Chains A and B, each alone.
Chain A
Amino acid sequence: MAIAIGWSAGGGGFGVAWAPTWDLRLAFELDGLAALYGVLAAGIGTLVFLYASAYVPRHLAHQERSRREEARLHGAMVLFLVSMLGLVMAQDLIALFVFWDLTAVASWLLVGYDRHNRDARLSALMALLVTAVSAVLMLVGILMLRAEYGTVQLPELFAVAQESTTVTVAVALIAIAALAKSAQVPFHFWLPRAMAAPTPVSAYLHSAAMVAAGVFLLSRIHPLIQLDARLLDGLIVIGLTSMAVGGLLALGSRGLKRILAYSTISQYGYVVTMLGIGGAAGAAGACFYVLGHALAKSALFMTAGAVTEATGAKALGEVGGLARRMPLLAAGSGAAAAGIAALPLTIGFFKDELFFKAALDRGNVLGALAVLGAALTFAYMARFWTGIFLGAPKGELRPVERRLIWPVALLGALVVVGGLVVGPFADLARDAAVVTQRGAVELEAAYHLDARAENLMAIGAYALGFALFASGRLLGAPLSVFSRLGHDLGPERAYNASIRGLNRLSNRLHDIEVRDLRGRLIAVVVPGAGLVALGVAVTPTDGAYRTGALPAADVPLVVALAVCALAALAVPFCRRHLLIALALSGVGFALATTYSLMGAPDVALVAVLIETIFALLFVGVFALLPRDVLRREARLRAPRSRKLRDAAIATASGVVTSLVVWSAFSRPVPREGMSDRLSALAPEAHGKDIVTVILADFRGLDTLVEITVVAVAMIAVSLLLRGKLRG
Chain B
Amino acid sequence: MSLIAAPLLLLWPGAIVLALLDGRRRGPGALAVAILAAVFVLLAVLLAAVVARGPQELVAGGWAPDVGIRLRVDALGAVFAVLSCGVLLASLLQAVITGIHARATPSLTLFMALGLTGLFLTGDIFSFYVFFELAMICAYALTAAGGGDRRVRAAFTFAVVNLLGSFLFLIGIGALYRATGTLEMAAVAQQAATIDPNTGLLIAVTFFVAFGIKLGLFPFHFWLPSVYLAVAPHVAAMFAGALANIGTYGLLRFGGAILPAELELSSAALIAIGALSIAYGALQAIARRDTREVLAYSSIGHAGYVLIALGIGGPVGIGAAVIFSIANALNKTLLFLGSELRGRLAATAFLVGVLSVAGVPPTAGFFGKAALFDAGIDAGSITTVTLLFVGGALSFVYLFQIYQHDRWRPRAEREREMPTGAASPGQRGVALAVAAIVVLLGLWPEPLLAIGEQAAQEITATTPGRAEP
Contacts and interface: CB of A to CB of B under 8 A. Distances in A.
Contact of A521 (B118, B161, B174, B449): B161
B160 A725 contact: no
A464 interface: no
Contacts of B417: none
Nearest to A681: B67
A709 B111 CA distance: 9
Interface stretch (A179-187, A392-400, A654-662): A654-662
Given A536-B198, A664-B174, 11 more contacts: A19-B449, A125-B400, A136-B369, A520-B161, A535-B201, A664-B179, A667-B195, A669-B181, A702-B69, A715-B141, A716-B140
Interface string A516-554: 010111011101100110111011110110000000000
A432 B107 CA distance: 64
SS of A interface (majority): helix
A234 B287 CA distance: 37
A528 B182 CA distance: 26
B172 interface: yes
Interface in A114-159: 115-116, 121, 124-125, 128-129, 132-133, 136-137, 139-140, 143-144, 146-147
Contact of A506 (B101, B161, B288): B288
Contacts of B400: 108, 125, 128-129
Interface in B378-417: 378, 385, 389, 392-394, 396-397, 400-401, 404, 408-410
Interface in A72-121: 94, 97-98, 101-102, 104-105, 108, 112, 115-116, 121
Nearest to B148: A724
A613 interface: no
Contacts of B404: 112, 115, 121, 124-125
Given A97-B361, A660-B175, A720 B144 contact: yes
B443 to A, nearest CB: 9
22 contacts: A18-B445, A129-B396, A132-B360, A136-B389, A507-B287, A510-B284, A513-B225, A521-B164, A524-B164, A527-B220, A528-B168, A532-B205, A539-B198, A669-B178, A678-B67, A701-B61, A719-B141, A720-B152, A725-B102, A725-B141, A725-B151, A727-B103
B374 A697 contact: no
B24 A727 contact: yes
Interface residues of B, number: 120
Interface string A632-661: 000000000000000000000000010111
Interface of A: 18-22, 24, 94, 97-98, 101-102, 104-105, 108, 112, 115-116, 121, 124-125, 128-129, 132-133, 136-137, 139-140, 143-144, 146-147, 499, 502-507, 509-510, 513-515, 517, 519-521, 523-525, 527-528, 531-532, 534-536, 538-541, 543-544, 657, 659-661, 663-667, 669-671, 674, 677-678, 681, 697-702, 705-706, 708-709, 711-713, 715-716, 719-720, 724-727
Interface stretch (B124-132, B247-255, B325-333): B124-132
Question: Across chains A and B, which 10 residue pairs bring their CB atoms closest together, nearest first?
Answer: A727-B103, A670-B181, A671-B181, A664-B175, A506-B287, A716-B141, A724-B147, A544-B198, A115-B408, A506-B286
B175 A663 contact: yes
B1 interface: no
B44 interface: no
Contacts of B369: 136, 139
B118 A101 contact: no
Contact of A665 (B144, B178, B204): B178
B90 interface: no
A121 B408 contact: yes
A510 B286 CA distance: 10
Q: Which of B12, B61, B126, B172 has the most CB of A within 10 A?
A: B61
A698 B199 contact: no
Nearest to B194: A670
Interface of B: 12, 16, 19, 22-24, 60-61, 63, 66-69, 101-104, 107-108, 111, 114-115, 118, 126-127, 130-131, 133-134, 137-138, 140-141, 144-148, 151-152, 156-157, 160-161, 164-165, 168, 171-172, 174-176, 178-182, 191, 195-199, 201-206, 208-209, 213, 219-220, 222-223, 225-226, 265-266, 269, 280, 283-288, 355, 358-362, 366, 369-370, 373-374, 377-378, 385, 389, 392-394, 396-397, 400-401, 404, 408-410, 444-446, 449-450, 453
B104 A715 contact: yes
Contacts of B377: 140, 143-144, 147
Contacts of B358: 132
A108 B394 CA distance: 17
A705 B196 contact: no
A199 to B, nearest CB: 20
Given A133-B393, A524-B161, A670-B179, A22 B130 contact: no
Contact of A509 (B61, B151, B205, B284): B284
Contact of A22 (B16, B133, B449): B449
A98 B144 contact: no
B250 to A, nearest CB: 15
A531 B161 contact: no
B225 to A, nearest CB: 8
Contacts of B127: 699, 701-702, 705
B213 A705 contact: no
Contacts of B12: 708
A713 B199 CA distance: 34
A543 B198 CA distance: 10
Nearest to A665: B178
Contacts of A713: 137, 141
Contacts of B378: 147
Given A22-B449, A139-B370, A699 B131 contact: no
Nearest to A117: B410
Nearest to B114: A708
A108 B407 CA distance: 14
B453 A21 contact: yes
A667 B67 CA distance: 23
Given A513-B222, A671-B181, A678-B67, A499 B397 contact: yes
A725 B231 CA distance: 13
A504 to B, nearest CB: 8
A75 B63 CA distance: 62
Contacts of A698: 61, 63, 67-69
Nearest to A17: B446
A674 B181 contact: yes
A725 to B, nearest CB: 5
Contacts of A116: 408-410
A194 B131 CA distance: 54
Q: Which of A510, A674, A711 has the most CB of B within 10 A?
A: A510
A202 B281 CA distance: 36
Contacts of A674: 66, 181
A21 B446 CA distance: 7
Nearest to B172: A660
A712 B134 contact: yes
A137 B22 CA distance: 54
A223 B220 CA distance: 50
Given A21-B449, A698-B63, A706 B286 contact: no
A670 B394 CA distance: 50
A124 B359 CA distance: 18
Contacts of A520: 157, 161, 222-223
B96 to A, nearest CB: 15
Contacts of B144: 716, 719-720, 725
A510 B195 CA distance: 43
A660 B288 contact: no
A540 B198 contact: yes
B194 to A, nearest CB: 8
A524 B69 contact: no
B220 A725 contact: no
Nearest to B111: A712
Given A19-B445, A664-B175, A525 B164 contact: yes
Contacts of B397: 129, 499, 502
Given A143-B374, A664-B203, A531 B24 contact: no
